[in-house]
Structure 1
């Protein structure tokens, strides 16, 4: 399979300790074969001070490593601090808007649209493109026909289209922090308990079955989205970039495997075998793109 699509590393969704996060991005900069890296706190503005003073060094290291740096905004605005954080990030050269409030600062200049905005029809794509959007990361729940229609509309405006192909997927956002509530704390006095769960806090049903994961105000899938044999159809549909969402597993190995798949050096089945040999959990899902419930997994055919 020969494709020209970019491979990207999405923003870190979890509250990792500063040194872990710094080391992660430095290793991505030096070793991971990705074309674009998304920096920024997208889930909780209270986490931003923990990494603010490392952002410049991380961005410079990524750029020296040949990566294009894009700054991702918060996914939700509920207070004055959130507004200030979004305004400050919108001052960077290349920004991905994850909340419509960011468009107040970005309209009229080139920018990207993140997967947390509800881009579900062609008219929305055309409207946002006319206002300066040059790239769209589509919501994860779209089936293949919808991806194709939106990619066609984006292509007609000259915009790129990106889809997530690896990692837990965001399902919902809340003004309240369930992570804090689960530990008998309030959102204002959370004591950053989310730091204890580097890949989110896994939940179970009353019958003990794995169900979802929680990351602060964010509800995630319990399973890991894993698209591999679907990549050729996605590229044919007009997708120009494939996103990996960071987790505490060996993301350099994950990125290298996906790069090999994109370069035609391995098959989709071989990529899945490589993931089996890493610390990537075996619970996988790909139902959305096949028009099925998202938690389901349709076996690879290659």
Structure 2
């Protein structure tokens, strides 16, 4: 699996600008990832936190030999958001990742990638996107292995990527449940989501952790971890594995995944290392096995 590559997805959470900048500086200097997706994806109101540092982050990543991809919004509702995506599409300096189909009208005359928030559930959809300029697709994290294999078997003409680490993105809304939970409204949220840099846990009536809120986005409580499945996925035709940033040592996470891909660490040991690095959420891989996403199938394939 030495040929398989790692992608670092965008930070979905609201981190203070300096923390966000320093995170990517470390990624540039230390993480064994070849592609890095940067930019606000969840809520355009957060843009001003990272905007002052974007140029420095991109420069540092490129100097380290990383391929930089700019992320678009997952839900476009405002005219200024439309203008921002149009401006990104017209600037051919960087590859752009579409996270909402509305971006395709601006990206139709250039190459682009597709993020895991776009519902690519079958091979005809993958082929259509390829015909419209897509060079890579990160498949939705809820796809079972059978669907992934069926898409890969059709050889749609682009790189296929799988969401291999992180709380899985489940839904996005025009309303902000995160703000509402803290007595705020979306238009005057006071950016309360920055108080939860790894998401705000949602519990059932029985007080069991169930989901997590991230502004207008809902993510899983568990953390998808496909360490044991990467061998089979690579054999099926998956070229890349995506790591979604969590509020933990993502350098260590990336090195764990790289060691498994390179055959230097056995899956069981790697899972224990991953749990130690990111103890905030239980690991899961249920979606890949056609089960509930929060499940963890212990009989995962050995890498």
Q: Shorter chain as normaliser: what TM range?
A: over 0.9
Helix, strand or coil for the counterpart of 1:101?
A: helix
Unaligned runs of 5+ in 2: none
Query: In 2, are the aligned partners of 1:45 and 1:85 still within 8 Å (CA)?
Result: no
Helix, strand or coil for the counterpart of 2:171?
A: strand
Distance, in Å, in 1 between the alignment partners of 2:110 and 2:279 is 39
Helix, strand or coil for the counterpart of 2:186?
A: coil
2:176 match = 177
Distance, in Å, in 1 between the alignment partners of 2:172 and 2:156 is 32
Query: In 2, are the aligned partners of 1:3 and 1:235 still within 8 Å (CA)?
Result: no
Helix, strand or coil for the counterpart of 2:188?
A: coil
Query: In 1, are the aligned partners of 2:139 and 2:161 still within 8 Å (CA)?
Result: yes
1:67 match = 66
2:114 match = 113
Distance, in Å, in 2 between the alignment partners of 1:106 and 1:143 is 29
Query: In 1, are the aligned partners of 2:39 and 2:70 still within 8 Å (CA)?
Result: yes
How many residue pairs align between the two structures? 299
Residue-by-residue CA offset, 1:182-233 (whole Å, 9 max, x unaligned): 1111111001000000000001111110110000110100011111110011
Query: How many angstroms does 1:280 deviate by?
Result: 3.5
Residue-by-residue CA offset, 1:12-64 (whole Å, 9 max, x unaligned): 00000001100100000001111110001000000111111211110110111
1:289 match = 288
1:100 match = 101
Unaligned runs of 5+ in 1: none
1:15 match = 14
Query: In 1, are the aligned partners of 2:126 and 2:156 still within 8 Å (CA)?
Result: no
Change (3 A) 1:185 1:108: same
Change (3 A) 1:46 1:297: same
Helix, strand or coil for the counterpart of 2:197?
A: coil
Distance, in Å, in 2 between the alignment partners of 1:71 and 1:234 is 26
Distance, in Å, in 1 between the alignment partners of 2:83 and 2:137 is 24
1:221 match = 220
Change (3 A) 1:114 1:282: closer
Distance, in Å, in 2 between the alignment partners of 1:186 and 1:223 is 27
Query: In 2, are the aligned partners of 1:72 and 1:89 still within 8 Å (CA)?
Result: no
Equivalent runs, 1:141-156 vs 2, <5 Å: 141-153=142-154, 155-156=155-156
Query: In 1, are the aligned partners of 2:130 and 2:156 still within 8 Å (CA)?
Result: no
1:192 match = 191
- TM-score (structure 1 length as normaliser): 0.96
Distance, in Å, in 2 between the alignment partners of 1:119 and 1:81 is 27
Residue-by-residue CA offset, 1:137-189 (whole Å, 9 max, x unaligned): 10011000100111233x342x0000111110011111101111111111110
Equivalent runs, 1:124-143 vs 2, <5 Å: 124-143=125-144
Distance, in Å, in 2 between the alignment partners of 1:45 and 1:296 is 33
2:42 match = 43
